[in-house]
Amino acid sequence: MNEVIAEIKTLKLDIAVITETKKKGQGSESMGYYDHFYSGVPKDRRAQQGISILIRRNLRKYIQSWEAISERIIKMNLTIYGHRTTIIEVYGVNDDSLVSTKDKFFEDLKNEIMKVGKSREIIILGDLNSRVGKNRNSQIVGPYGEDTRNDNGNRLITLCEQNDVKIMNGYYQHRDIHKYTWIQPTRNLKSIIDYTIVRRETKWNIQDVRVHRGATCGSDHHLLRTIVVHKSRREHRESEHKHQIVHKPKRYNLDSPDHESTKELYKKRLNEKLTEKRFTNPEEYYEYIKTCIHSAAYEALGMYEPIKKRKPYWWAPDI
């Protein structure tokens, strides 16, 4: 079994999602301090897949509705702090599955996200069996993930771009033992395939996403914990403003290339930076070339500085 916990820290409540439960049928039941909502294959089929949501009893009053979509997708609607939020738990198909199987799964997930609409917050949790890599210049994937990306990862990134959501794991810097969610020590394999995904402009404050190795349940997956805190309106406005500042585009002095000496300097700087290196995928190669071009342009051309207009002659401190 694979487990992901989203902790609503301000309320001291938690929601746990579990994949590959192999529990048949659909329904809900009481389990100690938790209410258990599950979705699996029909009872006449061999036990496989299956997903569950465990919610503490004191969170029951916030639940509006829930729906078992399939043995791979389950959905729950809640209202917390006035935030109408939909939690979608997912157990993705393997990367080596048939193309038709992967097409259907990602299409089903896309449809469920679109049904949520734009007025609700959305939190997607679970084992996506996708490796999305890392990217410093992406608004979907953060800079602190792993190096590898697979076909499922490309599909997931495309899905996130289409629905204006982002994968939170890579936005928090941790040691490797707190990043990799799946490990097979005997074969020396590890990957990040369990994720927390939210809207790019969410009203929830995601404080941290990290692996906790101490909690074990006989699985080769580690527990992934996400800490979610209520964000005030002021904090939401400040984060939007900060987001706008960070992504302000660079403007270089494009009048400089008219001079032959500047052209030669730019070529020289670029050749110095484009040293021969090895890359594991085309995305890394692209990012390396782009970084070299920006650096050479900054050194050779300089930044564009707009000419400030003079104030009218009649302007005075009194006015």
Regarding whether 261 and 237 lie in a shared domain, the answer is no
Regarding whether 206 and 260 lie in a shared domain, the answer is no
- The reply to whether 155 falls in a domain is yes
- The reply to whether 185 falls in a domain is yes
- pLDDT attached to residue 246: 42
- Tokens (6 digits) for 117: 């609409």
pLDDT at residue 108 is higher than 60: yes
Check if the beta carbon of residue 300 is closer than 8 Å to that of residue 262: yes
Instruction: Return the closest-CA partner of residue 142 out of 168, 181, 180.
Output: 168
- The reply to whether 60 falls in a domain is yes
Specify the higher pLDDT residue, 147 or 264. Answer: 147
Count of structural domains, the chain: 2
Regarding whether 143 and 32 lie in a shared domain, the answer is yes
Element (H, E) at 158: helix 151-163
Check if the beta carbon of residue 2 is closer than 8 Å to that of residue 20: yes
Regarding whether 276 and 205 lie in a shared domain, the answer is no
Regarding whether 197 and 283 lie in a shared domain, the answer is no
Regarding whether 283 and 185 lie in a shared domain, the answer is no
pLDDT at residue 142 is higher than 70: yes
Strands 223-230 and 2-8: parallel
- The reply to whether 6 falls in a domain is yes
- The reply to whether 37 falls in a domain is yes
Regarding whether 144 and 277 lie in a shared domain, the answer is no
Kindly report, residue by residue over 6-20, the tens digit of the pLDDT. Answer: 544 444 447 888 888
Q: What is the CATH number of the domain that holds 148?
A: 3.60.10.10
d(CA 257, CA 202): 43
- In terms of residue numbers, what domain contains 264? 256-300
- pLDDT attached to residue 295: 81
d(CA 118, CA 110): 14
d(CA 19, CA 49): 7
Regarding whether 192 and 90 lie in a shared domain, the answer is yes
Check if the beta carbon of residue 74 is closer than 8 Å to that of residue 37: yes
- The reply to whether 20 falls in a domain is yes
- The reply to whether 70 falls in a domain is yes
- The reply to whether 44 falls in a domain is yes
Kindly report, residue by residue over 229-277, the tens digit of the pLDDT. Answer: 876 655 555 555 554 434 445 577 776 666 777 788 888 888 888 876 7
Regarding whether 102 and 27 lie in a shared domain, the answer is yes
pLDDT at residue 121 is higher than 70: yes
Regarding whether 226 and 198 lie in a shared domain, the answer is yes
